[in-house]
Amino acid sequence: MPDTIPEEVARRRTFAIIAHPDAGKTTLTEKLLLFGGAIQLAGEVKAKKDRIQTRSDWMKIERERGISVVT
């Protein structure tokens, strides 16, 4: 693992996904996290109780209403 701040900064990339509220931003975020190795299993925004919910929708209102507030 890099020891210096410049090396850590060089390893990271930041980007934004801006789109219509129902355009699939959370689904895309979950897939990016999955393919990047940050999570082991991607969830579903409108998951049923027996299915896995999204990792990025962590707020109570997001889980209750099946919406994304902060992704």
Predicted structure pTM score: 0.47
Question: For residue 19, what are its two tokens?
Answer: 């789109």
Amino acid at 66: G
In a domain, 41, yes or no: yes
Cα atoms in the 13 Å half-sphere on the side-chain side of 21: 5
In a domain, 21, yes or no: yes
Count of structural domains, the chain: 1
In a domain, 70, yes or no: no
Q: In this predicted model, what pLDDT tens digit does every residue of 6-56 receive, in sequence order?
A: 988 888 888 787 877 767 777 788 888 888 888 787 766 554 555 566 667
- List the domain range (segments joined by +) for residue 48: 5-65
Question: For residue 4, what are its two tokens?
Answer: 């210096």
In a domain, 71, yes or no: no
Which residues lie across from 53 on neighbouring strands?
Answer: 44
